[in-house]
Amino acid sequence: MIIKCLNCLGLMGVSTYGGVEIALIYTDGLDISDRKKSAVIPYPDDIKEKIRSIWGLKNNSEENKKKLQEVDLIVSEFYVKIIKEFIEDIDENIDIIGIEGITLFHNPEMKYTYQLCSGRYIAEKTGIKTITHFRNADIVSGGQGTPISPTYFNAISANNIKPIVYVNISGKSSITWIGSFGELVGFDCGPGDNFINNWTEKHAHQDNDYNGRLAAIGKVHEKIVNSLMHHKFFAKFPPKSAYTGIFSNKAEHLEGLSLEDGAATATAFVAEAICYSICLYLPELPKKVVICGKGAKNPTLVRFIRQRLPNIDVIVSRDEGIPIDTVNAEICAFLSARTVYTLPITFPSTTGVGYAMPGGEIYEK
């Protein structure tokens, strides 16, 4: 098979808070030759509410199946609209679309994962080969299903100092460690933006702690952080994946705090979970930690991580030329090329699956 670069359009519905990331890159699934254009599109309020109404719902009854299909179609139509508008603004032919929709439910112990979006519908409406559900093959084969980002981070780390860690902070946080000889380790390490966002939405009616301003003026209650870190997830050795809602019941520990103290303590919990995992579960401490995803936009969170890793160089992805807002869309675009060329996207060292596995479901018009 001849492997050549393709124009790959990636979409990632990170969460209702973060909106839809979209990015066009030129890649062969081994390297990224060019970043062409990207954007973040917020979900309309009515679609947000429909997504939240089925959050955590399993496809295990006729009633649930009907509800999921209804919202799946609405979200897929919205993705088609975004794709068509994006393509109208560029003078490029799109070879492949790669999409990972919002995860409604993910639990590797049940071998079950569900992301919103219909690849078949999107391929029919756009006329472009569409690849979705990158984690499904892994999870049904006994893997954790996530993270699916390590091959992307491995590609962009080619000329970087090693060992290096990429921390992708979105709805949850995941770590990719790349060793001096190209060894690859990946795992979910704890809560992400959503743990902070849920607090600010509930107590301040705002989608997130913009620029970490609330946390910056709040007081961290270290005893609560220590209590939160007693969660059994942190005692489990990788590979591991944070299943849907795994930390939601821990939010009650914050109740009774002021708005600012709650934001600061939630942010410190996210930072502590990341740093604890870096120090305890990696083969070797990294020389550099690169913060990616929406978490890189929160300077208070980045500061908390730096304070906990005083002897390691901690930078945000922008300083490495990696986009903050659309890194997850780039990951989907990159994985779509790997899927077309039947290259593996998950490994025993990243998800615990038995062997290096390709992934993704391909749909054509």
Burial class (CB in 10 A: 0-12, 13-18, 19+), 182: exposed
**Domain 150-320 annotated CATH 3.30.470.30:** no
CB distance 337 to 94 below 8 Å: no
| Rg (the chain; Cα; Å) | 19
For 131-187, the pLDDT digits (tens) are 999 999 999 999 999 999 999 999 999 999 999 999 999 989 999 999 999 999 999
Check whether 91 has a pLDDT greater than 90. no
Domain boundaries, the chain: 6-145+325-363, 150-320
Share of residues in the chain with pLDDT > 70 (%): 99
DSSP string computed for 60-121: -SHHHHHHHHHHHHHHHHHHHHHHHHHHHTS-----EEEEE--EEEEEGGGTEEEES--HHH
Can you name the CATH fold of 6-145+325-363?
A: Nucleotidyltransferase; domain 5 (3.30.420)
Looking at the whole model, is its pTM more than 0.85? yes
pLDDT band at 16 (very low <50, low <70, confident <90, very high): low
Q: Which two tokens stand for residue 2?
A: 């001849």
The residue type found at 255 is: E
Which residues, including other chains, have CB under 8 Å from residue 290's CB and lie 6 or more apart?
Answer: 164, 165, 166, 167, 315, 316, 317, 320, 322
Q: What count of Cα atoms within 13 Å lies in the side-chain half-sphere of residue 287?
A: 8
Residue 290: its H or E element: strand 288-292
Residue 130 has a CB neighbour count (10 Å cut-off) of 31
For 302-359, the pLDDT digits (tens) are 999 999 999 999 999 999 999 999 999 999 999 999 999 999 999 999 999 999 999 9
The answer to whether domain 6-145+325-363 and domain 150-320 are alike in fold is yes
Q: Which two tokens stand for residue 25?
A: 């890159």
User: Which alpha helices (H) appear in the chain, and where do they start and end?
Assistant: 45-53, 62-88, 119-126, 136-140, 150-156, 193-204, 213-217, 222-228, 259-281, 299-308, 327-340
How many DSSP H helices and E strands does the chain contain? 11, 13
For 31-55, the pLDDT digits (tens) are 999 999 999 999 999 999 999 899 8
CB distance 229 to 269 below 8 Å: yes
Check whether 15 has a pLDDT greater than 80. no
pLDDT band at 68 (very low <50, low <70, confident <90, very high): very high
Which residues, including other chains, have CB under 8 Å from residue 328's CB and lie 6 or more apart?
Answer: 10, 12, 14, 21, 100, 149, 168, 170, 293
- Please give the torsion angle defined by the CA atoms of residues 67, 72, 73 and 76, in that order, rounded to the nearest 10 degrees: 170
> Is residue 229 helix, strand or coil?
coil
* Mean pLDDT of the residues in the chain: 95
How many Å apart are CA 262 and CA 253, to the nearest integer?
9
For 104-138, the pLDDT digits (tens) are 999 999 999 999 999 999 999 999 999 999 999 99
Residue matched to tokens 């038995």:
354
For 273-297, the pLDDT digits (tens) are 999 999 999 999 999 999 999 999 9
CB distance 315 to 289 below 8 Å: yes
CB distance 353 to 141 below 8 Å: yes
pLDDT band at 250 (very low <50, low <70, confident <90, very high): confident
**What pLDDT is recorded for position 38?**
96
**What pLDDT is recorded for position 17?**
67
